[in-house]
Structure formats: C-alpha cells, structure tokens
Chain A
Amino acid sequence: NAGVTQTPKFRVLKTGQSMTLLCAQDMNHEYMYWYRQDPGMGLRLIHYSVGEGTTAKGEVPDGYNVSRLKKQNFLLGLESAAPSQTSVYFCASSYDRRDSGANVLTFGAGSRLTVL
C-alpha cells in the first residue's frame, strides 16, 4: 500500500517549457487535490477533483490544468512554465464523506519544481 505517490520529485524547467506532474493513489479515494507550498504562504489549493472525470478550480488555478481520467490518477499540467510557478507541489487525496471529520487528507511526498 503506497498511499499517495508523486512523480517526479524534482524538476528544473526553463521559462515557457511545459511539464506534467503525476499523482497516483491506491486507497480508492474519491477526492484528489493539488496544492502548492510557498514560504510564508502555507498550502494553497490549485485544482481539485471530487471524482473520476471531474475537476474544479481552487484558489490559485491560473497557469495550471488538470485531468482525472482514472480514479487513481490526478495530473497537474503546466503549459508554459513561469518563474512564479517555482514551488513545492503536493498532491493529496481523501475519502468522499459528507460528515465532517472523515475527509482526512493524505499527502504525497511533494514535487519540487524550479522554473528558470
């Protein structure tokens, strides 16, 4: 049981390049999320998905796209990377439970992206 796995762990891009971060979970979770973490700003939600085939915008969606073609995978894409997207990206997943307290987030190990 691997939990939440992110690939790659590190990546360096040049401005304007594109890339995709992959998140995979083996816990049969309905919900998946992409966060970015920047110093002093905590965890900010980029996009999320409440089920296979669905995605929605979070707090900071500009410059990113996502897809959830399979329940276990959630992809985050940068079409034209900018230095402002230098950050640590965390994927997370949780059960779909409407009663509060059940949607505990399980995080991946993070992906450190540097855009030059």
Chain B
Amino acid sequence: GENVEQHPSTLSVQEGDSAVIKCTYSDSASNYFPWYKQELGKRPQLIIDIRSNVGEKKDQRIAVTLNKTAKHFSLHITETQPEDSAVYFCAAYKLSGGYQKVTFGTGTKLQVIP
C-alpha cells in the first residue's frame, strides 16, 4: 500500500520567515496531493492541492511543489504570520479498487514566533 512520510514533525520559525514541509510517497500511481491545515482543537481543512500533471501551484503566501520522479512534494509558506501556527498534514491519493484511497502523513506542528 501507499506510505507517506512527512518531515519535520515540528517546526518553529520567526514571524516573517519562510516555512517548508516535505512529504514523500511510495506509490508512483498516486496522482493527487492535498495539504490540510488543522488549527488547535479544530477540524482539518484543505488549504492547497496539486495534481500529478502539475509541478507547482501557488495561492498567495502558500505554494506546493511536486517532483514525480523523486516522489516527493512540499508545502512552502512565505512571510509566515502567527495565524499560520497549526498542524499541517499532507496526503496522497490513488485510485485503488475503484475508489480514491487517501493516505495521510503524520503531520507537522508549525509554530510561528511573533
């Protein structure tokens, strides 16, 4: 089955600095890679995603890059703000047994220090 590894598990940055979270996946058949943000005590919510036929996608201060050859994808947050503090999860989707199977990474706790 698919295995998704996520690093680092915790990350502290100064406000205004950039943050990068990396994920690797094992199954080359995976074709969709979303990122979820979970604020303390709240539900995970989708913040950005990328399909396997795209190398990079940006949305204001966040971006995701995908390297299919190396089977890794990364979340980049620029000009970090205290409200970016949260746990971030990557995920990989692949079609298996007729449905989209989702495998999550173990999460990265990002702390933005004012």
A residues at B contact (CB < 8 Å): 31, 33, 40-45, 50, 90, 94, 96-98, 100-101, 103-105, 107-110
Given the known interface contacts A41-B106, A100-B31, A100-B32, the answer about A31 and B43 at a Cβ–Cβ threshold of 8 Å is no
Q: Which segment, of B14-22, B60-68, B76-84, B95-103, faces chain A?
A: B95-103
B46 touches A42 (CB 8 A): no
A31 to B100, CA, bound (A): 10
The 8 Å CB contact of B43, one of A40, A90, A98, A101, is A90
B43 touches A42 (CB 8 A): no
Instruction: Pick 10 A–B contacts, CB within 8 A, sort by A.
Output: A40-B106, A42-B89, A42-B105, A45-B102, A100-B31, A100-B32, A100-B95, A107-B44, A107-B45, A109-B43
B residues at A contact (CB < 8 Å): 6, 9, 31-32, 34, 36, 42-46, 49, 51-52, 89, 93, 95, 98-100, 102, 104-107
A110 touches B43 (CB 8 A): yes
Closest 10 CB pairs of A and B: A100-B32, A42-B106, A107-B43, A100-B31, A43-B104, A103-B100, A42-B104, A101-B32, A42-B107, A101-B51
A28 to B43, CA, bound (A): 20
Main secondary structure of the interface of A (DSSP, over half): loop
Known: A101-B49, A107-B45. 7 other contacts (CB 8 A): A40-B9, A42-B105, A44-B104, A98-B99, A105-B44, A105-B46, A107-B44
A109 to B105, CA, bound (A): 20
The 8 Å CB contact of B44, one of A90, A97, A103, is A90
A31 to B97, CA, bound (A): 14
For A41, the chain B residues whose CB sits under 8 A away are 106
Residue of A nearest to B41 (CB): A110
A50 to B102, CA, bound (A): 13
Nearest CB on A from B4, distance (A): 9
